[in-house]
Amino acid sequence: MNGIEPDRVIVSCTTDGFITDKEDLPQLLKERVLGSKDLSDSSDFIDFYFKAREGLGVEGEILEMKFIEPKGLISWTTRGQLGLSGGIRAMTGYQNNQKVSDLVEEVKRVFNDDKQVPFIQSSLRSAKDIILEGGHTCLKLEERIFNLKYDNRRLIKDCFDGFYSSIPHVNVDSCRLARSISSLSSNRYNKYYPLNLVKSDGRTYLSLTKRMLVRVLLNSPSVLKIDRSFDRSEIVEIMGLLGIKCLKDYVSKQRLAYPIPKSLPATDEIRSILEKFKGLFPSFDIYYLLR
């Protein structure tokens, strides 16, 4: 990396790889190890790495080229990159099945908004949870927020076409100050009401359904194809008609949050609740919320 020319860029470096616009880098390193070019101070390490890969059965290579991005790259943090062609998708923690074009548009949109993408993370219940709480192995759904806010690990330098480039911090103190500023947007200031309990009796799914429907009524009247939202008392009354107990304070906790499309499992109970909701609002599409 230290040998890459100043006019070339290293976009990101993680434990097992990095992204750069340097061409023919694997061949360059191979030539350095084989002695056809002058060796640098790092040659001993490169030679060791080269031999280690040979021992693993990978001969003649130091680096493995994973992908060449032909269209372009959006990068916002060390572990946040998205290739415009879809070959690079480094979005740690964000589970999605979106098409590349849709995902690119989503990322660009949230850059100009609050830089957060709410989504539903799916997994299975852990063995420990089943032993302690009983029940069976089943799908576990948890609300998460994918954060695209800049992490201040580097200094912003120049702006071009609405995007920014960055340079390393000049010293440790500068980095610490910038990182402390970025921590102000951490989870303890999270505006979303969390989903905590995960059991197999279906209550977690019901809790998620309750949350999404309250948000539809409170903040997304367009989903119902109406031009008005509802106050707390009205929402409590509507949820009661669905057989779901809801308090005004609970509604208040959802005031800054929005429903997440395709977030609810298609169980018989959830389908029944959504059909009742559609009975109250005939223009509502239950598949807006069903996974």
DSSP per-residue letters across 219-253: H-GGGGT-S----HHHHHHHHHHTT----HHHHHH
CA 217 → CA 13, 52, 152, 155, 187, distances in Å? Answer: 44, 60, 37, 42, 26
pLDDT band at 8 (very low <50, low <70, confident <90, very high): confident
Tokens 């005939």 belong to which residue?
282
Residue linked to tokens 């434990």: 15
pLDDT band of 200, cuts 50, 70, 90: very low
pLDDT(197) > 60: no
The winner for highest mean pLDDT among 77-86, 180-189, 198-207, 251-260 is 251-260
Report the pLDDT value the prediction gives residue 119, as an integer from 0 to 100. 84
Q: pLDDT at residue 198 above 60?
A: no
CA–CA distance, 35 with 30 (Å, rounded to integer)? 9
Give the model's confidence band at 225: pLDDT under 50 very low, under 70 low, under 90 confident, else very high: very high
* CA distance linking residue 22 with residue 20, whole number of Å: 5
Question: Mean pLDDT, to the nearest integer, of 54-82?
Answer: 83
Instruction: Name the most confidently modeled range: 69-78, 104-113, 153-162, 230-239.
Output: 230-239
- Of 66 and 6, which is predicted with more confidence? 66
pLDDT band at 235 (very low <50, low <70, confident <90, very high): very high
Mean pLDDT within 148-162: 78
Rounded to the nearest integer, the mean pLDDT of the chain is: 81
CB 280 within 8 A of CB 218: no
Q: Which residues contact 93 (CB under 8 A, 6 or more apart)?
A: 121, 144, 146
* pLDDT over 70 percentage in the chain: 85
Higher pLDDT, 282 or 204: 282
52 or 196, which is more confident: 52
How far apart CA 277 and CA 269 sit, in angstroms, is 13
Percent above pLDDT 90 for the chain? 24
Instruction: Enumerate the β-bridge partners of residue 116.
Output: 147
Q: What pLDDT is attached to residue 230? A: 93
For residue 22, is pLDDT > 50? yes
Query: Model pTM?
Result: 0.65
Reduced 3-state DSSP string for 57-122: CCCCCCCCCCCCCCCCEEEEECCEEEECCCCCEEECCCCCCCCHHHHHHHHHHHHCCCCEEEEEEE
Q: Is the pLDDT confidence value at 29 over 90? A: no
Query: For residue 214, which of 225, 230, 226, 198 has the smallest C-alpha distance?
Result: 230
